Structure 1
Amino acid sequence: MKQFFKFVLATVVGIIVASLILVLIVVGVVVSASGDKDVNVEDNSVLTISLDRPIPERTPNNPLANLGIPGFDSDKTTGLNDLLANIKKAKTDKHIKGIYLSESYMLSGQATTEEIRRALIDFKKSGKFIIAYAEVYTQGFYYLASVADKVYMNPKGIFDFGGFSSQITFFKGALDKLGIEAQVIKVGTYKSAVEPFVLNKMSDANREQVNSYLGSLYDYFLTGISAYRHVPVDSLRSIANNLQVQNPEDAVKYKLIDGLKYKDEILDELKSRTGTAKKSTVKSVDIADYTHTKSDGDEDKGSSDKRIAVVYASGEISSGDGDDNKIGSTTISAALRKVRLDDKVKAVVFRVNSPGGSSLASAVIWREVQLIHQVKPIIISMGDYAASGGYYISCAADSIIAEPNTVTGSIGIFAILPNMQKLFNDKLGITFDGVKTGKYADLGDISRPLTPEERLILQNQVNRGYDEFTKAVADGRHKTQTYINSIGQGRVWTGAQAVKLGLVDRLGSINDAIASAAKKAKVSDYKVVAYPEQKNMFSKAASSLSTEVRTRMMQSELGENYRYYMQIKSVQEMMRTPQARLPYDVVVK
């Protein structure tokens, strides 16, 4: 009885503590929300931009951001939407004298970096200054910073400029040791997402495609730097190939940066440029806080009766519900259906940033895009990735706009079914036996290998999926299916390459896509509305909140290595259903 009361007491105390925590959080959110007033920018201020966190498509709706709760950093995550809007706003803000690009590790993809870089180039048309400074220049941040009027580095700093690389992790050796066979069914010579499970190194076809698209990305990277640093592309290539920048002085010598300065010297220059007294502090506003400032014409811009809907689809594609970081076919289909049936929405921009995922979920979303195309303009804006399933959900639109360094294509289908018989039998001593009412009743059983008949059935299903995929692309792009098959086969392309192949119509940003949609809809006075509606933490179930906390904590702890964790986690999804998925991540450090 004593033990019983002990457990009861512990349960009651747990409930009380949990309730108190919840009350404190709610009170904190209310206080935070009530105090979330417009930020006033003082005269002669500098807009500070530091991009050392992943950049999502949209700023998360996170009321806990400033409360110091574990898993929710006090530094706000700013989405690409607000970054672009804030830089544009600063261009005409009389209080902002210039932009200070502070050290950033640029955990974003190349297309996202390209959008921000283009916004900075546009900002410079105002005649205002941009100064970049870092103790460590990654290649991603240097590409962004190269457009600045002055690029400085700490005299003891590090400058990384050695070229691009792409690395794939292979699991076959580990699977062999465990006694697991990856049974692969695929279509596409270049559909290399399955290679890590069946090979120990890259196939010749995969090496060919990686060399091709990585070379295209690198050429564009060097060309962009050359245009603003006035160093010939061939010289930049030679500097990188021979690793000629091995200390800060080398970066100055080869004109990659303008000088070496300590932070206090940078602050002195900012004071000089803003007319601030030497003994005073530079007036600055962080890019995240700048979201809460107003500029002339911000309120109720455009007609609410004429709308351009921007539907955001970011992350891997799967069936069911999704969120800001995962494309759920149910959630995105509902959003697309909503804008199609809304007469106030005159055109749609479908922002796709996805490496693909479930081929079935992709087909479900494709159908909704096709239905919109029949009644109103729909323009695709591609982000860092719009590959495989990401391209599938894009191909039925009126037109497709991508960045030159968007990773796209990868038109192919595959499925993986593990055979764990040796693991169970030989390693663990586990055996199975049973009965069934039909020959194929246990198709997909991982405790045994596929029979030739079963493999043929699965191969036919994958072949059918690929045929439907290529037909959808052929119809949407007004090409023959034979042609799409010739450039498909799972091959990956950059946005620049895809334009030449007819998979993409032109290069440009999300703002170019919005302008194109408005032009097709023949509207000039319109309001841009984002979908799906973002939910805050308290609109989510407790389990979702827990997942969000866990994700943020892991991202914080693992940093850029978080992507390796996600790669391993995605293997589970690959084992469930046929996939239209990009083979790997493309990371530029």
Structure 2
Amino acid sequence: MLAFVLGSFLVLLIIFLSVAGIASSYTNEEPVKIKSNSLLSINLNYAIPEQTSYTPFEGFSFTDFEPSIAPGVYDIVKNIEKAADDPNIKGIYLHFGFLELGMANTAQLRNALIDFKKSGKFVVAYSEIYSEKAYYLCSAADKVALNPKGIVEFNGLNANIMFFKNLLDKVGVQAQVFYDGKYKSATEPFRLDSMSNENQLMTSVLLNDVYDKVMKSIAETRKINLSTLDSINDNLLVQTAGDAKKYGLVDEVWFEDEVRAYLKSQLDLKEDDEINMISLEKYMDVRGKQEQVSLNTDKIALLFASGDIVDGKGGDDNIGSVKYTELLRKLREDKNVKAIVLRVNSPGGSALASDVIAREVQLAAAKKPVVVSMGDYAASGGYYISAFANKIVAQPNTLTGSIGVFGIFPNMEKLLEQKLGISFDGVTTGKYSDFGDISRPLREDEKLIIQRGVDSIYRDFKATVVKGRKIDPSLVDTIAQGRVWTGSQALEFGLVDTLGGLEEAIVMASRLSKSSKYRVVEYPEVDKDIFELVRMFRDTNETSSLKDQLGSFYSVFEELQHIAALSGTQARMPMTIEIN
């Protein structure tokens, strides 16, 4: 008994010290000091969020009580810019081979590296394997090195869409689909077993537009003829590390020790000298020049809106209508907030939630400048909540538009009766008392009611675009139809105002608000207290365990989760188009 009590006490003591150590590491305001002649080390082998996330118990070090941080796109770009002006940073070392990020955000990071090189400092990349997307980013480096047994994936882009109709047929579930927009292909996975001609056309145009931009960027930095790159892709000419060097995709075929020797030569170090290398996570705590204006009362609010748009309060990984209307109202009424930058990275979701949030954006834009910065996706509901902003900034590869709506009502009669042997019987007080009952198919009059509702929401969506963007209704009707556009294409139609990243949107917001000195404040605010840490400990472990077990099938699991969560009429892009 005594041993049990002592053991329990020790376990509790260790947990207490761990949590206390993490909490103190977050609240410690002492700035990190950086040595001269240092390298900024960037490893992006993790799922990169929009806003930096704090997952303290994942990869937590019990030796130095150092919590795990997943730097977001905004902080990565901001710290690359900071490093360019930092006299102690001589260069950047990229060492990763895979990238969990969309093409638009990848381009934003790539542009930040190119701007960094303009300071006269160097960028070196090394990996054992480069995925297509990771190579696209690392090709901006001055020197790209590859392990002698490594490989560069360089065979073109592809977009995959999962179809569930045959699965639903097998289990006895009928998807009763209602939609508006001939390109609103979000319903196709439930009613078809392959892409429609319209969907194939739209996706092909999108993919080729993204591909052309990627190849042009690589051609410029690697100084390779564009037609040569196309030939390498089409004929799969790069199959070994030697091939990668032969065709100019990499500069050197080296082991890591040879890369480190090269880095030492760039830093004018001797063979036995240690390289002063600081990780991106630690460098985030190094104060830069911009922190000098941090005490100014004028604020530009940077509101991150990432994930599916859902009804209610929502969670950390989606855009809940209650949560975001409260945030937008708070920022609208805060006199110290001179402008709002709404960072949207969403494929859409609930049409009702999108309309509710759009209303708050409209109210805020009438009182102070609201600038939308689009990430990888700002489509369907993601565009709906953006339309009333004063200005919209998108990346060339942002997937946006998808102005259309749909609704799906499952009929599980066959599954319940024929597969499971379950039958239902009951009484109603009116003709429509059991409207939407999943144990029976919809009647024709019920289908007509639903389609009228979908039509009404579609008209409201287009009216929002007409009013918010001041575009002719006939043009909106033409470019709507549920069709997805890249940022570059959207610019031609007036769906966005200019091309650029988050930094450009912040500068635009400061100019519109006539704020010369300001500080950027991020929302939702990150709650770092002990209770939040414990909550994230639970969530992080659940997600990490699933990722470990499912591996490459985790994306399929995520898609099924999204499907299970669908309710009501949706303003959502054609499921998730994964460009690889």
Aligned residues, how many?
574
Contact 1:61 1:535 (8 Å CA) reproduced: no
Q: CA offsets per residue over residues 33-58 of structure 1, 9 Å max, x none? A: 46674322212111111111111111
**Structure 1 residues 581 and 292, CA gap change in structure 2 (3 angstroms):** same
Amino acid at match of 1:200: D
151-160 or 274-283: bigger deviation: 274-283
- In structure 2, the CA distance between the partners of 1:22 and 1:482, relative to structure 1 (3 Å rule), is farther
- Pick the aligned partner of 2:398 from 398, 406, 427: 406
TM-score between both structures, scaled by the size of structure 2: 0.94
Quickly say closer, same or farther: Cα 1:63–1:263, change in 2 above 3 A. Answer: closer
Q: Could you tell me how far 1:545 is from its partner in structure 2?
A: 5.5
Question: 1:80-109 deviations in whole A, cap 9, x for unaligned?
Answer: 122112111111111111011112311111
Q: Give the aligned partner of residue 435 of structure 1.
A: 427
By how many angstroms is 1:538 displaced? 3.6
Is 1:251 paired with 2:244? yes
Find the counterpart in structure 2 of residue 536 from structure 1.
528
Give TM-score, length-normalised by structure 1. Answer: 0.93
Does 2:563 match 1:563? Answer: no
Alpha-carbon distance in structure 1 between the residues aligned to 2:563 and 2:81 = 40
Q: How does 1:113-132 map to 2 (within 5 A)?
A: 113-132=106-125
Counterparts of 1:300-319 in structure 2, within 5 Å, are 300-301=293-294, 303-304=296-297, 306-319=298-311
Give CA deviations for 1:542-576 in whole Å, capped at 9, x if unaligned: 777633431243345545543221101111122x2
The 1:251–1:541 alpha-carbon spacing in structure 2 relative to 1, beyond 3 Å, is closer
1:547 and 2:543 equivalent?
Answer: no
> What is the 5 A alignment of 1:91-490?
91-301=84-294, 303-304=296-297, 306-490=298-482
- Deviations along 1:444-493, whole A, 9 cap, x unmatched? 10000000000001111111111110100111111122321211111111
What 5-or-longer segments of structure 1 have no aligned partner?
1-11
Aligned match of 1:5: none
Change (3 A) 1:487 1:73: farther
Inter-partner Cα distance in structure 2 for 1:134 and 1:217: 24
1:209–1:17: structure 2 CA closer, same or farther, 3 Å change rule? farther
1:34-49 paired onto structure 2 within 5 Å: 37-49=30-42
Is the Cα–Cα contact under 8 Å of residues 151 and 244 in structure 2 kept in the other structure?
no
1:506-562, Cα deviation, whole Å (9 max, x unpaired): 100111001111111112111211112122364449777633431243345545543
Task: Give the alignment's Cα RMSD to 1 decimal.
Answer: 2.4
- Equivalent residue number for residue 79 of structure 1: 72
Output the CA distance in 2 between the equivalents of 1:224 and 1:535. 39
Q: Secondary structure at the match of 1:97?
A: strand
User: Does the CA-based 8 Å contact 1:33-1:63 persist in structure 2?
Assistant: no
In the alignment, the residues of structure 2 paired with residue 477 and residue 274 of structure 1 have an alpha-carbon distance, to the nearest angstrom, of 51
In 2, Cα distance between the equivalents of 1:456 and 1:231? 57
Deviation at 1:112, TM superposition (A): 1.3
User: Comparing 410-419 with 578-587, which one deviates more in the overlay?
Assistant: 578-587
Question: Any conservation in 2 of the 1:87–1:120 contact (CA below 8 Å)?
Answer: yes
The equivalent residue for 1:577 is 568
Query: Counterparts of 1:136 and 1:318 in 2: how far apart (Å)?
Result: 38
**Structure 1 residue 264, shift from structure 2 partner:** 0.8
1:579 is aligned with what amino acid? Q
Tell me how far apart the structure 1 counterparts of residues 483 and 527 of structure 2 sit (CA, whole Å).
36
Task: Give identity over the alignment, percent.
Answer: 44
Residue 541 to residue 225, structure 1, CA distance change in 2 (3 Å): closer
SS of aligned partner of 1:321: coil
Aligned amino acid, residue 261 of structure 1 = W
In structure 2, the CA distance between the partners of 1:273 and 1:544, relative to structure 1 (3 Å rule), is closer
Report how far residue 439 of structure 1 moved.
0.6
Q: Displacement, 1:585? A: 2.4
Alignment partners' CA distance in 1, 2:413 and 2:79: 57
Offset of 1:296 from its aligned partner? 3.9
* 3-state secondary structure, aligned to 1:580: strand
CA drift of 1:300 comes to 4.0
1:174 Cα deviation from its structure 2 partner: 1.2
Distance 1:96 1:559, change over 3 A: farther
Structure 1 residues 569 and 20: CA distance shift in structure 2, 3 A = farther
Alpha-carbon spacing, 1:412–1:15, altered in 2? closer, same or farther (3 Å): farther
Worse-matched range after superposition: 180-189 or 545-554: 545-554
Q: Are the counterparts in 1 of residues 34 and 286 from structure 2 also a CA contact under 8 Å?
A: yes
* Change in 2 beyond 3 A, CA 1:63/1:239: closer
